[in-house]
Every structure is written in C-alpha cells, then in structure tokens.
DNA sequence: CATAGTTGCCAC
DNA sequence: AAACGTGGCAACTATG
C-alpha cells in the first residue's frame, strides 16, 4: 500500500504543535506538571488533587477513559475537557502518523502489512505490522490520515464495501420477515434505526447518525444490556429497556434465531457459519455464570461475523482469478473485513469496478440480495465517496 | 536490559 | 445485578 509521506509529515507537525499547546493548557488548569500519558499520574491529579468524583472503576483504580472524561467535562471541569482533545491527537500521532512511515519498504516504497489467516477465532483475517485494518476515519483528523493512503501515478484506488453485511446474513439465517422484506425493498436498517433513535425521517438521517445507529444495531443484536445502551444513547435505563423490548418485538424472528443458535451451541459445543466453518465454545458449559453469558454472546456473533469472513474470502479468490484471466493490471492491496481495496490503472477503472462488484455480490446466493458499493479516487477517503 | 500485564482506543 | 462481538498497538508500570 502506497502512502504519501509528505502528507503524514505535515500532519505530524500540525498535531505536534497542537499537543504542545494542549499540554501547557492542561498543566495550567491542573496546577501541576505530570505525565499526561500515565493513567496513575492522571488519576492522582483528577481524583485526589482536584477531588473530582470517581465515575467508573478498573481493576486497579478509578477509570479515566473517554466516557469518564466526557462526563467530568460536562460538569464544567477544564482538565478532562482538554484531555479528550489531547487523547485524540496523541493516539493518532503515536499509532499512525509517526509509526507508519517506519514501515515503508525502501525497495518498493510501499507498506506491506501481514494478513494473518488464523488471527481471529471467527474466520476473519487480522492485519499486523502494521495493522492496516484500523486506519482512522471517524473524525476529521482521522480522515486526514486516511487521505495519506494513495494510488501511484497513473492509477486510482478502488474500494468495494458490502452494505450492512452482517444484517443481511442475519436476514438470511433467521428469515425474520421484517429483515427480509427490508432488504428485498432495497431498504437500510442502519438508517431505519437511526430514524427511530433520533426521531427524524429516514431521508434526514446524517452519516453521523447512521454510524451511531450501526453500533446500536450490532450491540443490541449481540446482547448489549439496557445499562450499557442507556449510557451509549444518553437515555434512562427504562427507556433503554423499552428500546430493546421493541427492537425484538419488531424483529421477533431475529430473537428466535438468537435463542435457537445458543441452544444448539450448548447442545453441540460449537457454532457454524453458512459455509460450515466451526467455532467451538467451551465457555457455554462453564460453571461460572459470567463466563457462560460471554459464551452465549460469542455463539450468536460468530456465525454472522464468520459467514461475512467466508463470503469475502470466496469473493477474493474469484476476483484474484478473474483479474489474472483477463490480464488486468488491477491489484488487490487491502482487505478490511467486508471491504476490498485495489490499485487500478486509470484505464481499467470502469471494468475493474464492475468485475469486483459482481464477484462480491454473487459470492453466495442468499435469501436477500448482497449489495456492494464501489468508488474510485486518488486516495482512500475519496475512493469511498 | 527485556518481558508481561494493564489501560485505553483505533477499526470493522 | 450486569457485561455487544472480532482484532492490534502505544504507553506506562512492574517484574525479572
Ligand atoms: N459486533 C459488532 N460488529 C461490528 C461493529 N462494527 C462493525 N461490525 C461488523 C458488522 C458489520 O456488518 C461489518 C462491516 O462493518 P461496516 O462498517 O462495513 O458496516 P456495515 O457493512 O454493517 O454497514 P455499511 O452499509 O457498510 O455502512 O463489521 C460493531 O460495533 N460491533
Ligand atoms: Mn459494510
Ligand atoms: Mn466496511
């Protein structure tokens, strides 16, 4: 994968400057200098020196994670407010902006990640050294980093991402009438949920709203409790309970499939993907309730996450073969779970897009259509547009 | 000096 | 009583 090192260097300078300023502001607001990257030191400043309330605990003491800082900031405290900003910048700078250039191979001028075939228990690939499956995109600063992933001269990047992939697989496996009907009509359940949560018509759902609804959909399906949901949505516990109740009333076929899947897993000791990949789940027979409950959530997730992994692997094999047979110059460069990224000679844009989309959408024939959206651009962000 | 555990957080 | 799932990595701290 080619990256624009000048662009990253520019971002590094900008982030570095902001970090220095934030650091000074935090020391001033806290009335003391300390290592901002040290959780123990931060704890003593927030919860001892400044006497702020402990809102959450970890194994070793008071938590200082984002959710805690956000609440403290909302109470009008300056240090946590500045720290949220500091955390974002420091995470992006240390993990991506400053780390990625060191991975560029001097011979090829590119970053060569490792895709691990047995990295995930569900059948997903994982990526390491560096991980190119978790490149930032969700914040403006993150997006700027992703823009440094570029095509070489004369080529474009082509991206292809499955629409609502695990929801479609869930429609197929569960046969839930509302799910199946939604997809038959070309509907968008993430958008539907967003409209409900935010109380707006579907055509007024923003990308940010849909993204939040995506998390809500998956978290609800995979067993999130009302307590966590209430926190995530900033609603009361009762409202959260009611949301979950209504969700599974609307999608009763989904609830039934989840229950059946857990029961079958308990019986057999494993769950299976659509294509027969198994994951054994010994936790289901554990004496400890917490361990068993964890096993149950794993049992519901793995068939879906694993089927999505199987599906894209089938597509990858067919695309690889088709590109070779047709003597195309397009090269598969990344897989990000339900997305493929290619370097494509400009002249092949249209034909490669069509070929990739077709093979991904026909990798399996399900009860609902598989839909893939493709895009091309000079960098990874523009290629998703 | 190297290694392991913890915390926190990026993505899908 | 309650806990979405799957990963990898940086920084810090404790231990050897
Ligand atoms: N359990 C869980 N799974 C997730 C989460 N985020 C993503 N996934 C899984 C399920 C998704 O179908 C799959 C691909 O992620 P995407 O970001 O492409 O979302 P999806 O395909 O559902 O929607 P899309 O139409 O592409 O925007 O990864 C999450 O927060 N929790
Ligand atoms: Mn997708
Ligand atoms: Mn995706």
Give residues with Cβ within 8 angstroms of A243, minimum separation 6: A220, A226, A229, A233, A235
Nucleotide lying nearest to A306, CA to C1' measure: C6
Structure confidence by residue, pLDDT tens digits, A202-238: 999 999 999 999 999 999 999 999 999 999 899 999 9
Distances (CA, A) of A15 to A65, A90, A105, A131, A141: 21, 8, 25, 21, 9
What is the per-residue pLDDT for A275? 98
Report the candidate in A336, A286, A348, A338 with the shortest Cα–Cα distance to residue A311: A338
Structure confidence by residue, pLDDT tens digits, A85-109: 999 999 999 999 999 999 999 999 9
Helix/strand/coil percentages in chain A, nearest 5: 60, 15, 30
A174-308 is classed CATH 1.10.645.10: no
Question: Residue A133 CA: which ligand is closest?
Answer: 3
Give residues with Cβ within 8 angstroms of A377, minimum separation 6: A151, A156, A157, A383, A384, A385
Average pLDDT value for chain A: 97
**Ligand 1 in reach of A222 Cβ (< 6 A):** yes
Structure tokens belonging to residue A21: 């300023």
Structure confidence by residue, pLDDT tens digits, A285-335: 999 999 999 999 999 999 999 999 999 999 999 999 999 999 999 999 999
**Ligand 1 in reach of A27 Cβ (< 6 A):** no
Average pLDDT over residues A139-159: 98
**How many A from CA of A352 to the centre of ligand 3?**
19
What is the per-residue pLDDT for A385? 79
> Which residue's CA is the closest to the ligand 1 atom numbered 4?
A218
pLDDT at A248 over 90: yes
**Which residues have CB under 7 A from strand B?**
A 39, 58-61, 63-66, 69, 87-88, 91-92, 95, 133-139, 142, 161, 336-339
Structure confidence by residue, pLDDT tens digits, A162-201: 999 999 999 999 999 999 999 999 999 999 999 999 999 9
Structure confidence by residue, pLDDT tens digits, A1-16: 999 999 999 999 999 9
Average pLDDT over residues A256-276: 98
What is the per-residue pLDDT for A298? 97
Structure tokens belonging to residue A361: 């959408």
Report the candidate in A371, A358, A325, A320 with the shortest Cα–Cα distance to residue A342: A320
Report the candidate in A174, A170, A173, A168 with the shortest Cα–Cα distance to residue A188: A168
> Which residue's CA is the closest to the ligand 1 atom numbered 23?
A164
Residue at shortest CA–C1' distance from B12: A337
Average pLDDT over residues A13-32: 97
Which mutation among A120, A137, A162 tests ligand 1's pocket best, with the greatest number of atoms within 8 A of CB?
Answer: A162
Structure tokens belonging to residue A273: 């993907």
Structure tokens belonging to residue A187: 């509907």
A2-113 is classed CATH 1.20.1060.10: yes
CA of A139 to C1' of B2 (A): 37
Dist. CA A69–CA A82, nearest whole Å: 9
Helix (H) or strand (E) holding A67: helix A66-74
What is the per-residue pLDDT for A270? 98
A233 contact to strand C (CB, 7 A limit): no
What is the per-residue pLDDT for A373? 98
What is the per-residue pLDDT for A306? 98
User: In chain B, which nucleotides are within 7 Å of a protein Cβ?
Assistant: 6-12
pTM of the model: 0.97
Average pLDDT over residues A254-276: 98
CA of A362 to C1' of C8 (A): 31
Q: Any idea where the domains of chain A sit in the sequence?
A: 2-113, 174-308
Helix (H) or strand (E) holding A264: helix A252-268
Same fold, A2-113 and A174-308: no
Dist. CA A227–CA A206, nearest whole Å: 26
């Amino acid at each position: 994968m080619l990256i624009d090192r000048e662009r990253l260097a520019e971002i590094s300078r900008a982030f570095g400057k902001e970090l220095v300023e934030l650091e000074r502001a935090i020391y001033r607001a806290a009335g003391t200098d300390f290592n901002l990257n040290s959780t123990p030191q931060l704890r003593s400043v927030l919860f001892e020196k400044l006497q702020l309330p402990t809102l959450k605990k970890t194994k070793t003491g008071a938590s200082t994670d984002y959710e805690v800082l956000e609440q403290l900031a909302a109470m009008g405290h300056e240090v946590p407010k500045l720290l949220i900003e500091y955390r974002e910048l420091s995470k992006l700078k240390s993990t991506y902006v400053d780390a990625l250039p060191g991975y560029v191979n001097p011979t090829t001028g590119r970053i060569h990640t490792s895709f691990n075939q047995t990295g995930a228990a569900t059948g997903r690939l994982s990526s390491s050294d560096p991980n190119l499956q978790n490149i930032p995109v969700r914040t403006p600063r993150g997006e700027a980093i992703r823009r440094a992933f570029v095509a070489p001269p004369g080529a474009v990047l082509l991206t292809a991402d499955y629409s609502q992939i695990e929801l479609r697989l869930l429609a197929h496996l569960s046969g839930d009438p509302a799910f199946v009907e939604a997809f038959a009509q070309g509907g968008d359940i993430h958008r539907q949920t967003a409209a409900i949560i935010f109380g707006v018509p579907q055509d007024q759902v923003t990308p940010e709203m849909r993204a939040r609804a995506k998390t809500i959909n998956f978290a609800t399906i995979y067993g999130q409790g009302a307590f966590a949901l209430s926190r995530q949505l900033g609603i009361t516990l009762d409202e959260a309970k009611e949301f979950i109740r209504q969700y599974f009333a609307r999608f009763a076929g989904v609830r039934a499939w989840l229950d059946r899947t857990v029961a079958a897993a308990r019986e057999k000791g494993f769950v299976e993907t659509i294509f027969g990949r198994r994951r054994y789940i010994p936790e289901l027979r554990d004496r400890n309730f917490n361990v068993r409950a964890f096993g149950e959530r794993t049992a519901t997730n793995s068939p879906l996450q694993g089927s999505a992994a199987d599906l894209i692997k089938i597509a990858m094999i067919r695309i690889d073969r088709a590109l070779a047979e047709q003597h195309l110059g397009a090269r598969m460069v990344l897989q990000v779970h339900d997305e493929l990224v290619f370097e494509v000679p400009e002249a092949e844009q249209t034909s490669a897009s069509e070929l990739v989309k077709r093979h991904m959408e026909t990798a399996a024939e399900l009860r609902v259509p598989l839909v893939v959206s493709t895009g091309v651009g000079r960098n990874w962000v523009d290629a998703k547009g």
